[in-house]
Amino acid sequence: MPNATTIVSLAGAAVRAGAVSILRDVDFTVTEGESVGLFGTNGAGKTTLLRLIATLTRPSAGTGSVFGVDLSSPDRFIVRPRIGYIGHTPGWYPELTLMENLTFVAHAMGIEDALAISSLESVGLGGAIDRRVDRCSHGMKRRAEFARILMTKPDLLLLDEPHSALDADAIDLVDDLVARTVKRGGAAVLVSHDHARVEAVVDRTYEIAEGTLR
Amino acid sequence: MSVSFFGQARTVASRDLLRERRSGEVAWVTLPFGAVALLLVPIAIGTDAPTLRAVGIGMFWVVVMLFGVLVSVRRTGADSQSQKDMVSLTGIDPAASFVGSAWASSLLLIVFEVILGLLTIALYDIRIVGWAWVPLILILVAVGLGLLGTLAGGIVSTDRSAAALVPLIVAPMSVPLLIAATQAFEGLRLGHSILTWILMLVVVVLVLAIAGVLSARPLQETG
Amino acid sequence: MTTTAPDRSRVWPWIAIVVAGLVTLVAGMLVPQDAVQGQLSRILYVHVPGAWLAYLAFGVTMAASAMYLWRSTLIWDRLAASSAEIGVYFTGLTLALGMIWGKPTWGVWWTWDARLTLTAIMFFVYLGYLALRRTTDDIDARAKRSAILGVLAVVQVPLVHFSVVWWRSLHQAPTLLKPESPDMDGEMVVALLVSLAMFTLMYVAMMVKRMELARLEEQVLRAEQSDAGPVAGAAVTAPSLGEES
């Protein structure tokens, strides 16, 4: 794509946790309209890379930027509303309902409550909007995360093992969300162990091994 | 659509208060625990009425300081990384998150103080002089303790094992609040001016508020 | 075979500490005893400088913490932490000596005097500071968190000092740090000032050694955290169940 805007740019990025290196010398670029798949064994650093791009982790070395904002900047929080990140574990408050959790996100981002309701309905949770999260199954919590993505319409989608815990009805949600984001001019990065499913939807793939991308 | 700083703070405060309403941790655990502490003191030191009247106000403030720590840091060790990520990704300014959390803690602490205060008056046969000043003192102490607990939670940060350190940091640092609160009540009892102590409370609150807001963004770097 | 001259920078702090201790001892023993307290008064030539050192140390911690927050240079963090550690030791010494002096003087090991109590609280505040530094190996995170606490914690120091002015107190009111002239015999004032000077020299010498140690500890930590080691993922290999028995 000619002159496509760079959304993610990492150069020599490294992440350490104490004495242990997780990522080392990572060069990675994603431009608008692209979707990328990341594979690797357990502990390879896939989740850490995703968290780094999501600005949730600082690089220990190297440089990186997302939407032009330096990943080491204390002001990097301003870019987060443009990022839709779904991690391993849903981050909902268990004592609040699905609706209350989603409206917290909506109010923090200046989004109408009505959109929260319609998003939950779109992912098939319309009948459970008033159910407390600690009474929802893992799959329901996962679907609610996709409702959050639908509601916030991020320009960069970061999905960590997105197909896990989803039933046959919901599994196509992942492909739909990736397609919508890319079509809007955004980008998507998917981490998965399911090579076949991910390779069918992304433009290119990488393997993470020994802390770096191949 | 972007949300203002105080709009974000209000959202965080609403979330915390709603979570408290659902879990009832302060209402059903911390408050009764504080009440039990007030009951244990006379059992330990004797039920002589003049002695209890003399120690009552002090015991009230000690219970507020020690158990109030539990109110303001109740979430520090409890929130998972995923929950913190979810909040981070809304783009909430860390300083607004600090203000919102401290705001919610302060409101809960005011309720905590009022209920325990009434209990102290009843159990220790306290006669309050200068009622007009009491709400101001209660509010300033609650806000100070709310700010201190939220700030300490941010300093100790994300390590759950380190969360146990928060009361150790907050309790001694709350001494200026304890001194000002107890001396203010003593001053009211003796008919002295308490403006010095009110000023001390205001100064402590301002210092903690400024410190919390200024350190919120750098502290996110350490998480 | 070559020989090298002894490194004076390693030796002078120890010499300074020993000399300072000896001079304090001599000054404290040479000065006449107090008319009321007798020999017990000599404790004050260590107790008072110890308290002074605590104030100085925590003040330096605050200033260095503020400098770190401004410049983000780790030497300020090493300065703050080294000073806090020395301050905690001397606060503990001050409290212990105060109790030893208090028992024959007041008849009790401890009183709930405002200055004593607040000094004890100051001790715990800075213990908390040291405990906070132990919660992470991330050098920069540790520096930032403790710098914030280091600035806030110093509020305890003026509270301790002014407490004897604000409240009726068993503890002696300020002898030297007050507007009027000291109410102490001239020789005793001289001995006290000599002790204060010696303890300050001792503090400087201890700081030199402690900061050097902190620098070396940091070097070791950074070496452990370098990119030369294995990556985390290298610890995970393909499972191999073998035959079921």
Instruction: List, for residues A69-113, the tens digit of each pLDDT value.
Output: 999 887 888 899 999 999 888 899 999 999 999 999 999 999 999
CA–CA separation, B122 and B52 (whole Å): 11
C-chain residues near A193 (CB < 8 A)? none
CB pair distance less than 8 Å for A108 and B83: no
Q: Is the pLDDT of residue A159 over 80?
A: yes
* Helix, strand and coil in chain B, % to nearest 5: 85, 0, 15
Higher pLDDT, C215 or C44: C215
Looking at residue A1, what is its pLDDT? 45
Answer whether C148 touches B (CB < 8 Å): yes
pLDDT band (50, 70, 90) for residue C170: very low
Pairing of strands A20-31, A6-17: antiparallel
Specify the DSSP class assigned to residue B221. Answer: T
C-chain residues near B175 (CB < 8 A)? 118, 121, 156, 159
For chain B, which chains pass the contact test of at least 3 CB pairs under 8 Å?
A: A, C
pLDDT band (50, 70, 90) for residue B219: confident
Nearest to B176 among C128, C138, C155 (CB): C155
Q: ipTM, 2 decimals?
A: 0.88
Distance from CA of B96 to the nearest CA of A (A): 11
pLDDT band (50, 70, 90) for residue C239: low
pLDDT band (50, 70, 90) for residue A3: low
Higher pLDDT, C124 or C24: C124
Q: Is the pLDDT of residue A168 over 80?
A: no
Looking at residue C176, what is its pLDDT? 55
Are the C-beta atoms of residues B112 and B71 closer than 8 Å to each other? yes
Distance from CA of C14 to the nearest CA of B (A): 34
Answer whether B219 touches C (CB < 8 Å): yes
pLDDT band (50, 70, 90) for residue C105: confident
Q: Is the pLDDT of residue A67 over 50?
A: yes
CA–CA separation, C245 and C243 (whole Å): 6
CB pair distance less than 8 Å for C148 and B221: no
CA–CA separation, A48 and A54 (whole Å): 10
Looking at residue C39, what is its pLDDT? 76
Mean pLDDT over all residues of chain C? 79
A-chain residues near C144 (CB < 8 A)? none
Q: B75-93, pLDDT tens digit by residue? A: 555 678 888 889 989 989 9
CA–CA separation, B5 and B2 (whole Å): 9
B-chain residues near A80 (CB < 8 A)? 88-91
Pairing of strands A61-66, A69-70: antiparallel
Residue A17's beta-bridge partner residues? A20
- Determine the residue type at C143: A
Looking at residue B162, what is its pLDDT? 66
Distance from CA of B30 to the nearest CA of C (A): 24
Per cent of chain A over pLDDT 70 is 99
A-chain residues near B218 (CB < 8 A)? 74
pLDDT, mean of residues A39-66:
90
Planar angle of CA A190, A197, A214, nearest 5 degrees: 50
CA–CA separation, A150 and A181 (whole Å): 10
Which of C201, C208, C187 minimizes the C-alpha distance to C21? C201
pLDDT, mean of residues C89-109:
88
Residue ranges of alpha helices (H) inside A123-205 are 138-152, 172-183, 195-199
Nearest to C227 among A14, A41, A44 (CB): A14
CA–CA separation, B68 and B71 (whole Å): 5
CB pair distance less than 8 Å for C144 and B173: no
CB pair distance less than 8 Å for B155 and C156: no
Which of A89, A52, A44, A48 minimizes the C-alpha distance to A193? A44
Q: Is the pLDDT of residue C232 over 50?
A: yes
Q: Tally A–B CB contacts below 8 A.
A: 88
CA–CA separation, B161 and B164 (whole Å): 6
What tokens were used for B113? 């103080």
Q: C42-82, pLDDT tens digit by residue? A: 888 888 889 889 889 998 999 999 999 999 899 999 999 99
Looking at residue C68, what is its pLDDT? 95
For residue A117, what are the CA distances in angstroms to A84, A99, B89?
Answer: 18, 7, 20
B-chain residues near C113 (CB < 8 A)? none
* Residues 6 or more apart whose Cβ sits within 8 Å of residue B94: A77, B216, B217, B219, B220
Q: B15-26, pLDDT tens digit by residue? A: 999 999 998 888
Q: A139-156, pLDDT tens digit by residue? A: 899 999 999 999 999 999
A-chain residues near C236 (CB < 8 A)? 41-44
pLDDT, mean of residues C201-213:
91
Distance from CA of B15 to the nearest CA of A (A): 7
Give SS3 for A188.
strand
Give SS3 for B42.
helix
CB pair distance less than 8 Å for B91 and A81: yes
Answer whether B221 touches C (CB < 8 Å): yes
> Would you list which residues of chain C are within 8 Å, Cβ to Cβ, of chain A?
137-138, 224-225, 227, 229-236, 238
Higher pLDDT, C14 or B99: B99
Q: Determine which helix (DSSP H) or strand (DSSP E) holds A16, and give its type and residue range.
A: strand A6-17
CB pair distance less than 8 Å for C145 and B222: yes
CB pair distance less than 8 Å for B89 and A110: no
What tokens were used for A198? 């991910």
Looking at residue C137, what is its pLDDT? 77
Q: Which of B20, B86, B157, B158 would best serve as a mutation to test chain A binding (most A beta carbons within 10 A)?
A: B86
